Protein backbone atom coordinates (compact mmCIF):
# COMPACT_ATOMS: atom_id res chain seq x y z
CA UNK A 1 0.00 0.00 0.00
CA UNK A 2 1.43 3.43 -0.84
CA UNK A 3 2.10 6.05 1.82
CA UNK A 4 -0.89 8.06 0.58
CA UNK A 5 -3.24 5.38 1.86
CA UNK A 6 -1.36 4.04 4.88
CA UNK A 7 -4.14 5.21 7.24
CA UNK A 8 -6.71 3.04 5.48
CA UNK A 9 -7.32 -0.67 5.91
CA UNK A 10 -7.34 -2.97 2.91
CA UNK A 11 -10.52 -3.52 0.93
CA UNK A 12 -10.64 -7.08 2.28
CA UNK A 13 -10.41 -5.88 5.90
CA UNK A 14 -13.05 -3.20 5.33
CA UNK A 15 -15.44 -5.71 3.77
CA UNK A 16 -14.95 -8.14 6.67
CA UNK A 17 -15.88 -5.29 9.04
CA UNK A 18 -18.96 -4.31 7.04
CA UNK A 19 -20.08 -7.90 6.47
CA UNK A 20 -18.79 -9.84 9.51
CA UNK A 21 -20.85 -12.94 8.73
CA UNK A 22 -19.90 -13.13 5.05
CA UNK A 23 -17.89 -16.11 3.87
CA UNK A 24 -14.44 -15.66 2.33
CA UNK A 25 -16.04 -16.54 -1.02
CA UNK A 26 -18.54 -13.68 -0.63
CA UNK A 27 -15.80 -11.25 0.44
CA UNK A 28 -13.77 -12.23 -2.64
CA UNK A 29 -16.83 -11.60 -4.83
CA UNK A 30 -17.28 -8.14 -3.29
CA UNK A 31 -13.57 -7.38 -3.74
CA UNK A 32 -13.83 -8.23 -7.45
CA UNK A 33 -16.85 -5.93 -7.79
CA UNK A 34 -14.96 -3.09 -6.11
CA UNK A 35 -11.72 -3.64 -8.03
CA UNK A 36 -13.09 -1.78 -11.04
CA UNK A 37 -13.82 1.36 -8.99
CA UNK A 38 -11.41 4.18 -9.74
CA UNK A 39 -9.50 5.67 -6.84
CA UNK A 40 -11.48 8.46 -5.14
CA UNK A 41 -14.77 7.46 -6.79
CA UNK A 42 -17.32 7.35 -3.97
CA UNK A 43 -18.84 3.97 -3.17
CA UNK A 44 -21.91 3.51 -1.00
CA UNK A 45 -22.19 0.13 0.70
CA UNK A 46 -25.49 -0.53 2.42
CA UNK A 47 -25.58 -3.36 4.91
CA UNK A 48 -29.14 -4.40 5.79
CA UNK A 49 -30.24 -4.14 9.41
CA UNK A 50 -32.22 -7.26 10.24
CA UNK A 51 -34.03 -5.57 13.15
CA UNK A 52 -35.27 -2.82 10.78
CA UNK A 53 -36.39 -5.42 8.24
CA UNK A 54 -38.23 -7.35 10.95
CA UNK A 55 -39.98 -4.17 12.10
CA UNK A 56 -40.91 -2.84 8.64
CA UNK A 57 -40.99 -6.08 6.56
CA UNK A 58 -38.98 -7.23 3.55
CA UNK A 59 -41.05 -5.41 0.89
CA UNK A 60 -40.35 -2.10 2.69
CA UNK A 61 -36.63 -2.90 2.65
CA UNK A 62 -36.79 -3.58 -1.10
CA UNK A 63 -38.63 -0.28 -1.68
CA UNK A 64 -35.88 1.63 0.15
CA UNK A 65 -33.11 -0.23 -1.69
CA UNK A 66 -34.85 0.32 -5.03
CA UNK A 67 -35.03 4.05 -4.25
CA UNK A 68 -31.26 4.13 -3.68
CA UNK A 69 -30.48 1.94 -6.69
CA UNK A 70 -32.66 3.83 -9.17
CA UNK A 71 -32.21 7.42 -7.99
CA UNK A 72 -31.51 9.55 -11.04
CA UNK A 73 -31.98 6.74 -13.55
CA UNK A 74 -34.35 7.07 -16.48
CA UNK A 75 -37.71 5.50 -15.62
CA UNK A 76 -36.25 4.60 -12.19
CA UNK A 77 -35.73 1.05 -13.41
CA UNK A 78 -33.31 -1.61 -12.23
CA UNK A 79 -31.37 -4.00 -14.40
CA UNK A 80 -32.71 -7.53 -14.49
CA UNK A 81 -31.45 -9.64 -11.56
CA UNK A 82 -29.71 -6.64 -9.97
CA UNK A 83 -31.37 -7.14 -6.60
Q: Under a CB-based contact definition with an 8 Å cutoff, are residues 70 and 77 in contact?
A: yes
Whose CA is closest to 82, among 70, 71, 74, 73? 70
**According to the model, what pLDDT value does residue 80 have?**
64
| CA 54 to the chain's CA centroid | 20
**Cβ density class 1-37: b for 16+ within 10 Å, e for less:** eeeeeeeeeeeeebbbeeeeeeeeeebeebeeeeeee
What are the mean pLDDT values of the chain's consecutive 10-residue runs (83 residues total)? Answer: 72 92 94 86 84 96 86 68 64
**According to the model, what pLDDT value does residue 54 have?**
97
**According to the model, what pLDDT value does residue 44 have?**
80
* DSSP one-letter code for 24: H
Amino acid sequence: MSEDFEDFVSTHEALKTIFPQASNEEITKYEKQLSSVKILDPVLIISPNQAWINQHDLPAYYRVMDAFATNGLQNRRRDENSR
